[in-house]
Structure 1
Amino acid sequence: MNRKAKFATLSLATVMLTGVIAGCSSSKNEGSSAANATPAASTSSSSAPKESYEIAIAIPVFGAVSKDMQAVQDEISKIAKAKINATVKIMPISIGAWEQQMNLMTSGREKLDLYFTFGAGYSTGVAAGKMVPVDNLLDKYGEGIKKQIDSAYLSSAKIDGKTYGIPVYKDYTTGVPGVLMKKDLVEKYKIDVSSIKNIDDLDRIYKTIKDNEPNVVPLGAGLSLPSQTYVWYDKLGDRLGVLPGYDNGLKIVNLFETKEYEDYLNKMHSWNKAGYFNKDAATTQASGADLLKAGKAFSYFIGLKPGNLEREIRTYGTDLVFAPVMSNIYATTTDTQAGLWTISTNSTNPERVMMLLNLMYTDKDLANLFVYGIEGKHYVKVSDNTIDYPTGIDKKTVGYSWDSWLYANPSIAYLMKSDLQDMWKLTSEANQKAIKSKALGFTFNAEPVKNEVTALKNVTDQYVKGLESGTLDPADKLPEFRAKLKAAGIDKVIAEKQKQLDAWAAANKK
C-alpha cells in the first residue's frame, strides 16, 4: 500500500495506509516481473471484435494531471485497438474531488466504463448498484486475470457470492507493523535497531530524540496514525466489530471495549504527554511521512511490505531504517480490497471492458505505458527489466507519472533502478506465508444497519483521532466514547455483522 499522497478524507487515508498500495501463491504470479510476463493476452487482433468501442476510464490523481497524458493515452489505444478493437479515454480526477465526481458520474448516465475503487467505497458502491457483477465475464474473458491472482484473494472481492471488482495485484497482507526512522539520527545516537521488538521498546529511543533534538518530534502522526498499522485484530472493514487474533473462533467483539485497546490508548497518551507526538496530531491533514520529509519528525509508523522501504526513501528523499514492533503478517479481506478495478453499470459494453481488464493484468507493454509512459520520452531502459529517467529529467520534471499502486498489475511492468529488484518475488512469498484471517473473503453488508453505521461514524469521528493520537486522556474520554457508541447502536451493528459472518462461514464451510 503507498503513502505518497494525502487523502481528502480519513477513511481513504486509512485504506491506503493499511492496504494501498503486490503477489500471490506459487501457482499464481510467482515472482512475477516484466522479465517473465507475456506481452500478449488471450485476445489477439485476429479474434478482436468487429465493432470498435471507446472505453472510458476514471482514475484518481494525486497532484497535477500529467501534461503528456494524451500522448500516453494514444499509445495505450494503439495496443487496445490491435488486440481488442477498442480505444481508451482516460479521465483523471483530482483526489480532492474524487468522491463527489464519482458519485455524480455513477449516479447519472455519463459515459463511464471502468474505474478504480478504493476499498472504503466498494461495498457501498455495490449496494448502490454502481458496479457490474463480473463472474461470468471473468470466466469468458478473464482467464489471464485468474492465472495472475490466487483464487483465495480473488474470491475475497465477492459480496453475497458475486464478484464486482478485481483486486489490484499487490501484497495482500497487513505488512510488518513497525516504524521507519531517519537513519542519520539513528546513527548519531547509536540506536540499536535490533533491540526494538515491541512498542514499549520505543520509549527510551523517543526520549533520546525528545531530549536532544528540540526541533524534531520523535513520532510524526496525523492523517496517518500508529493505530492504522499496529493492529492485533481483523478490522472486518470498519472496526465496528472486529476479530481478535484474526480468528477468535469467528466470534466478533467490540474493539473499543477490549483491554488491549484501552492499554494501547494509555500508551499513546503517555507518549503524547511526554511530547513524542507533534502537537496537532489529532487535527493535521499531514501524514507522519510528510512531517519526516519536512524535517519535523524522526519516525512514523508503517505496515512494511516488499519494496516499501526503497520507495519511501526515494519519495521522501532521506535514508530510513525500519524496526518491526510485531512479527506476524496476516492476510485480510480489508487488505485485499484496498484497491479494485470495477466495471460501471453505465457501460454499454462490459464484455469489451473485461477484455481490456484482462490485458491490464497480463500485457507488459500496456503495463509499462500506464505506469511509466513512453520509452525514450519518460523513461529509458538500463537493463532488461530496469529503467531510469532520461538524462536531464527527474521525478519532478518528467512529463508523465502514475501512482503504480493504482495499476491493475504493476508486477509485470519494469522496475525503477532504485526499486528493490526482487520486490515481486518477495511479494509473492509474503502472500504465500501470510497467516490468513479466519474471515478472509467475508465482506460485511451494512445496508440493514446503515442508520446505526452513520450514527457510529459521527461518534468515531468525534473521539477516535483524539484518543488514538494520545491527545485525549482515555481515563476521562474512553468511558464517554464507549457510552456514546452504545447509544448509537454498536451492539446492533455487531449482532448483524456476526449474523452475516455466521452465514458466510456456513456457506463456505469455515
Structure 2
Amino acid sequence: MKRKLKLATLSLVTVMLTGVIAGCSSSKTDGNSGATATPASSTSNATKDPYEIAIAMPAFGAVPKDTQAVQDEISKITKAKINATVKIIPISIGAWAQQKNLMTSGREKLDLSFEFGAGYSSSVATGTLVAIDNLLDKYGDGIKKQIDPAYLSSVKIEGKTYGVPVYKDYTTGVPGVLMRKDLVDKYKINIASIKTIDDLDQVYKTIKENEPNIAPLGAGLSMPSDVYVWYDKLGDRLGVLPEYDNGLKVVNLFETKEYENYLNKVHSWAKAGYINKDAATTQANASDLLKADKAFSYFIGLRPGNLESEIRANGKELVYAPLMSNIYSTTTNTQGGLWTISVNSTNPERVMMLMNLMYTDKDLANLFIYGIEGKHYVKASENSIDYPAGIDSKTVGYSIQSWIYANPSIAYLMKSDLQDMWKLTAEANQKAIKSKALGFTFNSEPVKNEVIALKNVTDQYAKGLESGTLDPADKLPDFRAKLKAAGIDKVIAEKQKQLDAWAAANKK
C-alpha cells in the first residue's frame, strides 16, 4: 500500500449501481448547447432505402400508455434526417436480461439497445454486440465531439468499442452524508464541523438520545460501504487497486487494514444503536428509510443535481456534509450504462446514424425523455419544463428514467432541477482524477468457477460485516479464510495478469 490511511481520513467514494446517474462529458462547456446534427452528404447512399430501427429500452414500472404516440413523433424526425423510422420495445426491468437473451438467440428484430454496465463485458464475450469502431469513424462524429476521448475509449474491450457510454457524470461523486434538515436545525448540528466519519459519532449520539424511534444512519440495499471506498474495485472487488493507482498492483481488499478499520467503525455504530437493526436483511434502500421517518441520514456520492433529486424523492428538506474533496473516474463509472448495436441488426450503419442523433439532437432528446410538448410537458422557461396543469409524475402519459437516455444533457431540465447541473457536471468530469486503470475491464471467464464460489462467500459474510451487524473480531478471520479456500488468490493473480497486459498495450 502506498501510504497508510487513518480511519478518520480514509478517502470516501461512491460505487456505482445505479449509479449512477445525472451527468455529462468533460468535453463540453455547457451540456445544453449541443447542436442539432444533420446527416452528412457522405451518408446519402447509405440512407437511400427506408429502414425501421427496433430499440430495446428498460421499463421501470408500467409501460407508458402514450409510447406509440411518442414513437410516431420520433419517427417524423428520424425519417427526415436518416430515412428511418423507430419502433420502441419497452421491456420490464424484471425480465430485462432474459427477454434480451431470448430476442438475440431467436434472431428477432433488434437493432439498438440500452446496456447496463454490469452486463456489458458478458454481452461482448457472448458475441451479442457489434464492434462499432469503424461505424463511429464514419457516422459518429457528433458522438466523438460530445464525449471526452478518455471516457469514450474507456469502454473498449480488448481494443474494440462495443458501446457508447451514456452522457452523465463519469465520476465517483463527492462522498458524504445526507441528513434531514428539520432534525439538524432542531438539535443545532453544526454541518461545517463534519469533515470525517469520526465526526459523525457525536451527531449520531445526539439523534439516538433524542429520537429513539429514528435510526441515525439508514442502511439496507444501499450500504455505507457503497460510498466508503478508497480503491478502484476493478469490476467486482475481488482484487482492487488501492487509491486508484498503487503502481497497478492488485491487492486483496478484505485483507487490508483499511477494510478492517471500516468494519470496526460501523460495528461500533451498530452496537450503539446508530444503524437500523435490520440493515443486513431489509429490502429497503436507505433513502426509503429516511422517507418513512425511520432514518436520519444516509451516505451518498453526491453529483450535480443529486441533492435536488433526493429532496424530491424523499419529500423532505435535506442537507449534505461532504467527507472528502477528491473525485475519481473509473471504468465502473463510465460503463454504468451504454448504447449498443445488436448482432441481429441488418443495418448497423443506419443504427449508428440514429445513435449519433441521440447524442446530438435536442428535439429527439426531449421526445425520448419527456414525450410530446403540450401533452406530457409544458415550457416553464427557456430551458426548463413542468407538467401540464392537472398532471404530475404519476399521471403523465409518458416518461422514462432520463439516465438511460443517450445524452440527457441536451434536453430540457425540470424546473425543480438544478439549472446549471450540466455545466457543473462537465466541470466535475474534467477535474476528476482518473484511475490509473481507467479503461481496464476484467474478463472473469478464466476463473469463473472461483468467482462463483467467492460470490457465495461474500454473500454469506460481506453485508453482515459491512452493515455493522456482525462483529469483525469474530467473523472477519472466518471471512478471510473462506475467501482463501474459495480461490481469491487465483482470481487476483488472473486479474493482475490481465491488468499487466492491458497496461503494456496501452502504455500505462
Fold in common (TM above 0.5): yes
The CA deviation string for residues 338-397 of structure 1, in whole angstroms up to 9 with x for no partner, is 111111111111111111110100000000001111101111112211111111211122
Query: Matched residues in 2 for 1:185 and 1:401: separation?
Result: 34
Asked if 1:452 corresponds to 2:450, the answer is yes
Supply the distance in 2 between the matched residues of 1:85 and 1:155 (Cα, whole angstroms).
Answer: 30
TM-score, length-scaled by structure 1: 0.94
1:141 corresponds in structure 2 to 139
Alpha carbons 1:68, 1:400 under 8 Å: kept: yes
Q: Does the C-alpha gap of structure 1 residues 20 and 424 become closer, same or farther in structure 2, counting only changes over 3 Å?
A: closer
CA separation in 1, counterparts of 2:38 and 2:253? Answer: 45
One of 400, 405, 408 as aligned partner of 1:407: 405
Alignment of 1:199-238 (within 5 A): 199-238=197-236
Gaps of 5+ in 2: 1-13
C-alpha displacement of 1:282? 1.0
Partner of 2:17: 16
Of 89-98 and 156-165, the range deviating more from structure 2: 89-98
> 1:105 and 2:103 equivalent?
yes
2-side partners of 1:371 and 1:81: how far apart? 19
Aligned to 1:327: 325
Counterpart code for 1:360: M
Match of 2:176, SS state, is strand
Is the counterpart of residue 433 in structure 1 residue 431 in structure 2? yes
Q: Distance between the aligned counterparts of 1:170 and 1:41, measured in 2?
A: 23
Residue 41 of structure 1, CA deviation: 3.6
The answer to whether the aligner puts 1:356 opposite 2:354 as a matched pair is yes
Q: Is the 8 A contact 2:270 2:469 kept in 1?
A: yes
How far off its partner does 1:46 sit?
A: 8.9
Amino acid at match of 2:396: V
Structure-1 residue corresponding to 2:29: 30
Query: 1:389: which partner in 2?
Result: 387
1:163 aligns with 161
CA-CA distance at 1:17 after TM superposition:
4.0
Partner of 1:296: 294
Q: How far did 1:233 drift?
A: 0.5
- Report the Cα offset of residue 195 of structure 1: 0.7
Deviations 1:408-447 (A, max 9, x none): 0000001111111111110010011111111111111111
**Residue 19 of structure 1: how far off its partner (Å):** 3.4
Q: Once structures 1 and 2 are overlaid, which stretch shifts more, 302-311 or 380-389?
A: 380-389
| Counterpart position of 1:8 | none
- Structure 1 position 23, deviation (Å): 2.6
Q: Which residue of 2 aligns with 1:4?
A: none
Counterpart amino acid of residue 423 in structure 1: M
Distance in 1 between the 2:458 and 2:109 partners?
36
- Counterpart code for 1:424: W
Aligned to 1:344: 342
Look up the equivalent residue of 1:16 and give its one-letter code: L
TM-score (norm 2): 0.94
Q: Is the 8 A contact 2:52 2:86 kept in 1?
A: yes
Shift of 1:153: 0.1
Deviates more, 1:329-338 or 1:459-468: 459-468
Shift of 1:20: 3.7
The answer to whether the 8 Å contact 1:77/1:87 transfers is yes
Shift of 1:68: 1.2
Counterpart of 2:17 in 1: which secondary structure? helix
CA distance in 2: counterparts of 1:67 and 1:498, whole angstroms: 49
What does the per-residue CA deviation read over 1:20-75, in whole Å, with 9 as the maximum and x for residues that have no partner? 452333xx222221xx2212344589937122111111111222221111111111
Task: Measure the CA separation in 1 of the matches of 2:64 and 2:73.
Answer: 15
Q: Is the 8 A contact 1:219 1:297 kept in 2?
A: yes
Q: What CA distance in whole angstroms lies between the structure 2 residues aligned with 1:45 and 1:141?
A: 9
Equivalent in the alignment of 2:3? none
2:37 aligned residue: 40
Query: Deviations 1:89-145 (Å, cap 9, x if unpaired)?
Result: 111122222222222223331221111111111111111111111101100111100
C-alpha distance in 2 between matches for 1:391 and 1:466 = 48
Q: Structure 1 vs Structure 2: percent identity of aligned residues?
A: 79
* Cα distance, 1:220 vs structure 2: 1.3
> 58-67 or 261-270: which moved more?
58-67
Structure 1 runs not aligned, ≥5 long: 1-12
| Secondary structure of 1:16 counterpart | coil
Counterpart-to-counterpart distance in 1, 2:246 and 2:118: 24
Render the CA deviation track for 1:134-162: whole Å, top value 9, x for unaligned. Answer: 10110011110000000000000000000
- Deviation per CA, 1:474-502, whole angstroms, max 9, x where unpaired? 11111111111111111111111111111
2-structure distance, mates of 1:383, 1:31: 17
Report SS of the residue matched to 2:154: helix
Judged with a 3 Å threshold, the aligned counterparts in structure 2 of structure 1 residues 479 and 185 are, in CA distance, closer, same or farther, namely: same
Match of 1:187 among 173, 185, 191: 185
In structure 1, distance between residues paired with 2:84 and 2:155: 27
CA distance in 2, matches of 1:46, 1:235: 42
Which amino acid counterpart does residue 301 of structure 2 have in structure 1? G
Check whether the contact 2:21–2:169 (CA below 8 A) recurs between aligned residues.
no
CA distance, structure 2, for counterparts of residue 268 and residue 42 of structure 1: 56
